[in-house]
């Protein structure tokens, strides 16, 4: 069977799950797939955020009408500038607001019964820590409820949806449409995830930066992505929540439907204080969060790199879930000479993360000795293939033998491009990568590549891109690869355990 990342996770909606798929999807359609967008705060200064945003949306090829709004009216980038939202003809799905906070209440009066969702880039609310910020937020929510629209933010970047041609914020970043969804309380972390997506081949169906989350909160977006058939994996960056019980109940439901990866920042006192200043989030002890996430069956990560790594491995490995009982991992190193130290250190990296590195069977080792020889070889697992002389045919044979071992469910290969390219030309190294690409397509056991940075980063990135396109996840260090494998394994183990 050829593995394919395009196969959706099966989303079964039943009474226990209590998510009313259609209603939720309909409610969020104007947010993620708006038919029209207004941008409030577009001035003639092309470096102002509103103006950049307008240009970004046009450049992304957004299909529907885009309405710039500014009290002075006029024309900008060939579009009529409306002096107020009220003046725009008909209904507006999505309004992006980048104006001073003092002007916000009046704007919301204009939006009543006219728009479906209002997103505030505007900051200066509860996160500045004085009472007026909280009061203003409460006023905003009241106006939204009476005016029949939802609020995203304030203090955030809002929506990202490559399929709907909605770029991520005023930088205009937009990547390929894919199967990953992200929910981020931080606009900057959201942007980094989008950027890492472009760099490392993580393709998003949609994403949202929701900032202070005064109306639509992490929970709402999680519920939506849980039932959205286009999202297979959900990553969430959270600094806090105003309703912990509701969040945890939701996460438990969501994690049963699809992989949920959560990074709770503000774990330490200093971090929590920064979170308070950033999104007005209140601190809760890190240990409580970790325990709760485990109970929910969500995977906990602790950095933007680990979040990206984990989303990538879920995306690339598609429906693979191993046996669920401490999957057997083989580690292969020494594609060029010098696989000994890597064998030792990668064993440590995997074992310290609880991965199971079983000894290969006598038969497997016998076969490997036959093609690699005894001297200079380490064949128990890790397997050091340096005696192959980096010959792609011998590597193919050796890898085939390792993959055929019944105790092995996944192979991590250390491919140090910087070392290989010092001995061999790029074509030779690509012939070795062809072996990995072929095995990924022709059999079911996943291949994970560790491709460490070094002195040949241009070629290394070219190789990474090729492997990524072939649904092979690539990581810069053995530790990060091992952690990603441990994370995907732990997700399925938690789900398995919750069934019994």
The enclosing H or E element of 352 equals helix 340-352
- Residue 489 interacts with a copy of itself (CB under 8 A): yes or no: no
From residue 450 to residue 479, the character string flagging contacts with a copy of itself as x (rule: CB under 8 A) and all else as - is --xxxx-xx--x--------------xxxx
CA atoms within 13 A on the CB side of 393: 1
- Residue 302 interacts with a copy of itself (CB under 8 A): yes or no: yes
Q: How far is the CB of 456 from a copy of itself (least distance, A)?
A: 8
Q: Which of 158, 187, 297, 446 binds a copy of itself (CB under 8 A)?
A: 187
> How many angstroms separate the CA atoms of 429 and 443, rounded?
22
Q: Which of 65, 340, 361, 466 binds a copy of itself (CB under 8 A)?
A: 340
- Residue 367 interacts with a copy of itself (CB under 8 A): yes or no: no
Q: List all residues 6 or more positions away from 283 whose beta carbon is below 8 Å from its beta carbon.
A: 240, 266, 269, 272, 273, 275, 276
Using the CB atoms, write b or e for 368-406: b if 16+ within 10 Å. beebbeeeebbbbbbbbbbbbebbbebbbbbbebbbebe
Residue with tokens 């002007």: 103
Round the CA-based radius of gyration of the chain to a whole number and report it: 25
> How many angstroms separate the CA atoms of 46 and 61, rounded?
19
Q: Which of 349, 372, 410, 463 binds a copy of itself (CB under 8 A)?
A: 349
Give the distance, in angstroms, between the CA of residue 471 and the centroid of all CA atoms in the same chain: 16
Q: List all residues 6 or more positions away from 39 whose beta carbon is below 8 Å from its beta carbon.
A: 50, 53, 54, 57, 66, 67, 68, 69, 95, 96, 98
**Near a copy of itself by CB under 8 A, which window of 8-16, 84-92, 446-454, 466-474?**
446-454
**What is the arrangement of strands in the sheet containing 115-120, beginning at the earlier edge strand?**
66-69, 37-40, 92-97, 115-120, 150-152
- Residue 362 interacts with a copy of itself (CB under 8 A): yes or no: no
Q: Footprint of a copy of itself on residues 34-63 (CB under 8 A)?
A: none
Q: How far is CA 426 from CA 333, 411, 418, in A?
A: 19, 23, 11
| Closer Cβ to a copy of itself, 23 or 422, answer by number | 422
Q: Footprint of a copy of itself on residues 110-149 (CB under 8 A)?
A: 123-124, 128
| Closer Cβ to a copy of itself, 240 or 322, answer by number | 240
- Residue 270 interacts with a copy of itself (CB under 8 A): yes or no: yes
Q: Footprint of a copy of itself on residues 391-410 (CB under 8 A)?
A: none
Q: Which of 38, 108, 117, 157 binds a copy of itself (CB under 8 A)?
A: 157
- Residue 481 interacts with a copy of itself (CB under 8 A): yes or no: no
Dmax over CA atoms of the chain, in Å, equals: 81
- Residue 360 interacts with a copy of itself (CB under 8 A): yes or no: no
Among positive and negative, which fits the CA dihedral 374, 375, 376, 378?
Answer: positive
> How many angstroms separate the CA atoms of 401 and 404, rounded?
5
- Residue 342 interacts with a copy of itself (CB under 8 A): yes or no: yes
- Residue 278 interacts with a copy of itself (CB under 8 A): yes or no: yes
- Give yes or no for a contact between 118 and 86, defined as CB atoms under 8 angstroms apart: no
Angle between helices 304-317 and 478-499 (to 10 degrees): 70
**Near a copy of itself by CB under 8 A, which window of 140-148, 291-299, 416-424, 438-446?**
416-424
Q: How far is the CB of 340 from a copy of itself (least distance, A)?
A: 4
From residue 77 to residue 96, the character string flagging contacts with a copy of itself as x (rule: CB under 8 A) and all else as - is --------------------
Q: How far is the CB of 210 from a copy of itself (least distance, A)?
A: 12
Q: Footprint of a copy of itself on residues 212-241 (CB under 8 A)?
A: 237, 239
| Closer Cβ to a copy of itself, 77 or 423, answer by number | 423
**What is the arrangement of strands in the sheet containing 260-264, beginning at the earlier edge strand?**
158-160, 204-209, 177-184, 233-238, 260-264, 299-301
Q: Which of 132, 243, 303, 469 binds a copy of itself (CB under 8 A)?
A: 303
> Minimal CA–CA distance to 182: which of 163, 209, 155, 153?
209
Q: Which of 65, 74, 172, 244 binds a copy of itself (CB under 8 A)?
A: 172
**Near a copy of itself by CB under 8 A, which window of 7-15, 265-273, 292-300, 311-319?**
265-273
Q: How far is the CB of 335 from a copy of itself (least distance, A)?
A: 11
Q: How far is the CB of 18 from a copy of itself (least distance, A)?
A: 31
| Closer Cβ to a copy of itself, 27 or 337, answer by number | 337
# binding residues, a copy of itself (CB under 8 A): 84
């Amino acid at each position: 069977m050829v593995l394919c990342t395009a196969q959706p996770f099966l989303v079964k909606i039943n009474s226990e799950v209590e998510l009313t798929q259609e209603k939720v999807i309909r409610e969020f359609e104007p947010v993620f797939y708006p038919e029209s967008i207004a941008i409030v705060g577009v001035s003639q200064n092309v470096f102002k955020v509103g103006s950049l945003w307008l240009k970004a949306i046009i450049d992304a090829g957004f299909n529907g009408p885009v309405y710039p709004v500014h009290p002075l009216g006029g024309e900008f980038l060939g579009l009529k500038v409306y002096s107020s939202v009220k003046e725009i003809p008909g209904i507006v799905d999505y309004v992006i607001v980048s104006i001073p906070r003092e002007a916000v209440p009046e704007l919301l009066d204009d939006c009543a019964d006219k728009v479906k969702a209002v997103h505030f880039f505007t900051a200066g609310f509860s996160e500045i820590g004085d009472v007026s910020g909280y009061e203003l937020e409460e006023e905003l929510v009241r106006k939204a409820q009476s005016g029949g629209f939802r609020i995203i933010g304030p203090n955030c970047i809002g929506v990202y949806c490559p399929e709907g041609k909605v770029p991520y914020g005023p930088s205009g970043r937009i990547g390929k449409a894919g199967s990953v969804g992200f929910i981020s309380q931080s606009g900057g972390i959201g942007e980094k995830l989008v950027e890492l997506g472009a760099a490392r081949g993580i393709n998003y169906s949609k994403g949202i930066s929701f900032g202070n989350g005064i109306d639509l909160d992490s929970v709402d977006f999680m519920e939506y992505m849980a039932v959205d058939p286009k999202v297979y994996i959900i990553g969430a960056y959270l600094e806090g929540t105003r309703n912990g019980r509701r969040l945890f109940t939701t996460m438990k439901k969501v994690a049963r439907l699809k992989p949920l990866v959560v990074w709770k920042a503000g774990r330490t006192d200093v971090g929590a204080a920064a979170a308070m200043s950033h999104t007005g989030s209140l601190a809760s002890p890190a240990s409580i969060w970790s325990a709760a996430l485990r109970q929910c069956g969500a995977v906990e990560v602790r950095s933007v790199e680990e979040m990206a790594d984990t989303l990538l491995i879920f995306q690339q490995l598609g429906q693979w879930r191993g046996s669920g009982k401490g999957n057997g991992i083989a580690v292969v190193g020494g594609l060029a000479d010098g696989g000994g130290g890597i064998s030792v250190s990668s064993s440590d990296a995997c074992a310290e993360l609880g991965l199971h590195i079983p000894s290969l069977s006598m038969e497997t080792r016998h076969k490997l000795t036959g093609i690699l020889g005894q001297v200079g070889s380490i064949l128990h697992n890790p397997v050091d293939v340096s005696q192959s002389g980096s010959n792609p045919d011998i590597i193919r044979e050796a890898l085939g033998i390792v993959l055929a071992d019944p105790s092995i469910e996944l192979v991590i290969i250390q491919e140090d491009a910087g070392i290989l390219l010092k001995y061999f030309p790029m074509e030779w190294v690509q012939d070795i990568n062809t072996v990995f690409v072929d095995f990924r397509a022709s059999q079911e056991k996943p291949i994970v590549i560790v491709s460490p940075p070094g002195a040949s980063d241009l070629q290394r990135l070219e190789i990474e891109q090729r492997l990524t396109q072939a649904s092979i996840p690539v990581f810069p260090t053995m530790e990060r690869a091992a952690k990603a494998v441990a994370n995907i394994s732990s997700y399925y183990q938690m789900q398995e355990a919750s069934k019994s």
